Chains A and B, each alone.
Chain A
Amino acid sequence: MSHLSPDQIWHLLTKVADPEIPMVSIVDLGIVRQVGLQGNKIILILTPTFSACPALHWIEAQVIDLLRQSGAAEVEVRWSLTPPWSSDWLTPQARQALTRVGIAPPPRHDGRLEVALEQPVSCPYCSSTNTQMKNDFGPTLCRAIYYCHDCHQPFERFKPI
């Protein structure tokens, strides 16, 4: 049985992808808050992006599976709401990956969500800001639906929160 170091654990967690956005890892999403060791037991503190996100159960199971397969004796996942997840925690890698698949990343808001929501949204395909919100709600809790009047394509937008 191998003993994993915190660095090794963090590295392994970059292999757990968001099931809805497979090119972004849970580390890049800012879901993983803390990695700790208590003797042989790994204690992970994760935070939910959206409280009702159905992918969270799946993510927890994936994390435990992966670490067990990598030799962990015992893994405990704790969900924390303090502080609440912010889309500001998306890493630059996450933002680039989102743009590449046609999802506009959220602007940084520093807690001032209403201000962020006034800003024009850039089309992830052609970068135009001649875009229009079609629906503040989309196929998942984290995405809204937009349309670009320049390249005439619909696209999704990761909701600032």
Chain B
Amino acid sequence: MKTTLQNALADYLLAMADDELILGHRDSEWCGYAPILEEDIAFANLALDEIGHASLWYTLLAELRREDPQTYADQLVFFRQAREYRNIQMVELPPGDWAFSMLRQYLFDAFEQVHLSALRQSRYAPVASAAAKVLTEELYHYRHTSAWVRRLALGTDDSHMRMQKALDALWPYVAQLFVPFTDEPLLLQEGYVPTRSELESQWNAKVTPFLQECALSLPQPSPTRYARDQHTPHLKVLLAEMQSVARLEPGAV
């Protein structure tokens, strides 16, 4: 594989892995704090799934880069600085209230549905296989979070108000999901990935009618589209905690 193509693919895989990892970490923060026991269990499952998916993408990246798949993920996860992470800002935001976390998860789950479905057709076989696997598991995520968004949005005045507030807060961050990667044309040429604009229309077709059914008002779309190397101050705080044990004793197993 030409270096430029390999770098483009590596950037893409890193972004996917980082999104899953950071979201999984945020999901795990509900452990012990969820409003009911069933949801504590549910969020623990979601967290574990997302971290497992991150691991799959980091492994593909290791194989592409000819790094040791046993150790590469740990190196990336525990020893990079915030500015080296390539996740979108939406997943690094703190949990907020229940409505916020549930809606954030739903918006990302909807993205995974369209993204992974498209990636099953990737001409890069390892990506196609991994996408097919992850998609089977993601169905349970989407069912769960869409049910909760609907339940809260159409519930009491209080739950509806919180869900609307969550949507108003999260909507500006959605645009970043659809910012094209710098070297995307190289990947498109090879048939490795779908276009971001394709993903955006599929995602909108899925999410907009659903949110309307939930009697939620869609905020104005955000004009700002940040690149993935731009993070909120929240990521540094998250990583300080997540990386603290590994950094105390690098090389420990």
A residues apposed to B, CB below 8 Å: 48, 50-54, 80-86, 113-114, 117, 134-139, 141, 145, 159, 161
Contacts and interface: CB of A to CB of B under 8 A. Distances in A.
Interface in B22-80: 38, 41-42, 44-46, 48-53, 55-56
A20 to B, nearest CB: 13
13 contacts: A50-B52, A50-B137, A51-B49, A51-B53, A51-B134, A52-B50, A52-B55, A81-B129, A114-B139, A137-B42, A138-B41, A141-B48, A145-B41
Contacts of A81: 56, 129-130, 132-133
A161 B52 contact: no
Interface of B: 38, 41-42, 44-46, 48-53, 55-56, 125, 129-130, 132-134, 136-137, 139-140, 143-144
Interface of chain A: mostly helix, strand, loop or mixed = loop
A136 B137 contact: no
Nearest to B41: A137
Nearest to A80: B129
Q: Is the interface of B mostly helix, strand, loop or mixed?
A: helix
A113 B139 CA distance: 9
A139 B48 CA distance: 12
Nearest to B43: A137
A118 B35 CA distance: 28
Contacts of A114: 139
B51 A83 contact: no
A136 B52 contact: no
Contacts of A141: 45, 48-49, 137
